[in-house]
Amino acid sequence: MAATRTAHDSDGVMELLAGVPTGMLIGGTWLPSGDDRLIDVLDPATGALLAQVADGCVDDGLRAVTAASDALAAWSKTAPRARGEILRRAFELMTERTEDLARLIVLENGKALPDARGEIAYAAEFFRWFSEEAVRAVGDIQTAPSGANRILVLRQPIGVAVLVTPWNFPAAMATRKIGPALAAGCTVILKPASETPLTALAIGAILMEAGVPDGVVNIVPSKRSGAVVGAMLHDPRVRKISFTGSTEVGRRLLATASQAVVNASMELGGNAPFLVFDDADLQAAVDGAMIAKMRNCGEACTAANRLYVQAGIAPAFTAALTHRMNDLTSGPGLEPGVNVGPLVNEESRDKVAELVDDAIDKGATATTGGQTPDGTGWFYPPTVLTGVPDDALILREEIFGPVAPIVVFDTEDEAIAMANDTEYGLVAYLYTQDLARGLRVSEALESGMIGLNRALVSDPAAPFGGVKQSGLGREGGHDGLLEYLESKYIALTW
């Protein structure tokens, strides 16, 4: 398919884009959408058109379900070792092509190149981890308590899975679902975010090259998400939905999934608290805040959204964080030395600006940043807010941008109460050199993951996921494989 490319005629960007498929991947073939509609993919640093990809319609979604369903029997019977070796090969191909894939992410998502390289390493690792897990879908056997029989439990692939992913980690959110699904013996239809379909399509091509059989991985970009995903979930051949995105859309998908009782895994929004106690190592806490806040320009569900800092350390912490935020370099993500790219689109940038303006109207002060710059691209400056009042919206809503609101607290109990005062519960961070306090507070925080003196928790070998309205289920670790397996119990007499 010919893509329209009007941006970037330099630096090999045209060549890079020319190598990326722009059709839907269905049954091993790249196809235009059934009604020939296209999605414009834009560069957030300039607003320029990068490419146009197929915009799948309801019929395309259902055709992909047919392809996945037709491929299921053979794939689920493929030896686990063989499935694992294909995933291992996909890990190797992604790793070899890190630079091209990272540049592609920068182009369509906007993040700075170092963040994009980090994402590819993380994303590829899901294929390696699940290549190893493919041979560990271990069952159980036990003697019934009565002694009369045996209880045998097999783990079987759940079936055709629909995977829906967001734009903020266009590679990692796809591999975190495709890896365990294929390891378990499931076949999939991926619907990537409309802002960032190119990365998903490039990964689709890599999976085919790695030896994934036709129909095992299907990719249907679509702007008509509600209709296309809804139709797939109403098709009785679909047995699983795994979604990463906003809590609002997650609630809607759970409602749809309930009608056909489709198994659902949900990785939803976050509102992570970042607690710094007086006894923290100041340098470590500031380094951690920079990572937890600024990785991916703040566009992460795990981003530190609210910084609660104890009164004794607050002045030094605020000064050091302001200095570090002020030192960052904003610009188009491919430019050397840039560590803060633009936000993904105008709507996201405006939302960040509104949250900052609301906090300032209610009495907060920006010690750095705080104003939308003029010029092209969806940039917002690294910003630190102090004196943020309780009723500021920025403490309630996901910021998804480079803004760090600081709230000062006095006691441990007060900090825990403020941290837990949210419908979300994905991740929380705390810095203290008193390990007893660290573990006590970790137990009291209502979240699926904790970073204790550590600002990066994401790890393909660990169970990632939230409590409360941050989601259902876990991705990564051994838990990630179990999300795609059903237990079958055989009552057995011999």
- Note the residues at the interface with ligand NAP (CB under 6 A): 164-169, 173, 191, 193-195, 223, 225-226, 229, 244-246, 249, 252-253, 267-270, 301, 398, 426, 466, 471
Instruction: Name the residue nearer to ligand NAP (CB basis): 196 or 432.
Output: 196
- How is residue 475 annotated by DSSP? B
Closest distance of CB 271 from ligand NAP, Å: 9
Listing DSSP states for 169-211 in one string gives STTHHHHHHHHHHHHHT-EEEEE--TT-HHHHHHHHHHHHHTT
Give the separation between CA 403 and CA 355, rounded to whole angstroms.
9
Instruction: Name the residue nearer to ligand NAP (CB basis): 280 or 449.
Output: 449
SS3 at position 89: helix
**Contact residues for 207 (Cβ-Cβ < 8 A; gap 6+):** 86, 90, 178, 217
Residue entry with tokens 């790793």? 95
Instruction: Name the residue nearer to ligand NAP (CB basis): 84 or 170.
Output: 170
Report the 10 Å Cβ neighbour count for 361: 9
Closest distance of CB 391 from ligand NAP, Å: 22
Instruction: Name the residue nearer to ligand NAP (CB basis): 225 or 330.
Output: 225
SS3 at position 307: strand
Annotated catalytic residue 57: no
Give the separation between CA 333 and CA 341, rounded to whole angstroms.
5
Give the separation between CA 458 and CA 270, rounded to whole angstroms.
14
Annotated catalytic residue 267: yes
Q: How is residue 357 written in tokens?
A: 């303006």
Cβ(284)–Cβ(453) under 8 Å?
Answer: yes
Of the residues 108, 133, 195, 267, only one is catalytic, namely 267
Closest distance of CB 487 from ligand NAP, Å: 25
Closest distance of CB 199 from ligand NAP, Å: 12
Instruction: Name the residue nearer to ligand NAP (CB basis): 131 or 302.
Output: 302
Of the residues 301, 398, 475, 483, only one is catalytic, namely 301
Using CA atoms, how far residue 52 sits from 1, 33, 40, 43, 264, in Å, is 10, 12, 5, 12, 31
Instruction: Name the residue nearer to ligand NAP (CB basis): 231 or 314.
Output: 231
Instruction: Name the residue nearer to ligand NAP (CB basis): 93 or 172.
Output: 172
Element (H, E) at 443: helix 435-444
User: How long a stretch of residues is the chain?
Assistant: 494
SS3 at position 26: strand
Cβ(491)–Cβ(149) under 8 Å?
Answer: yes
Report the 10 Å Cβ neighbour count for 468: 17
The residues annotated with a catalytic role in the active site are 267, 301
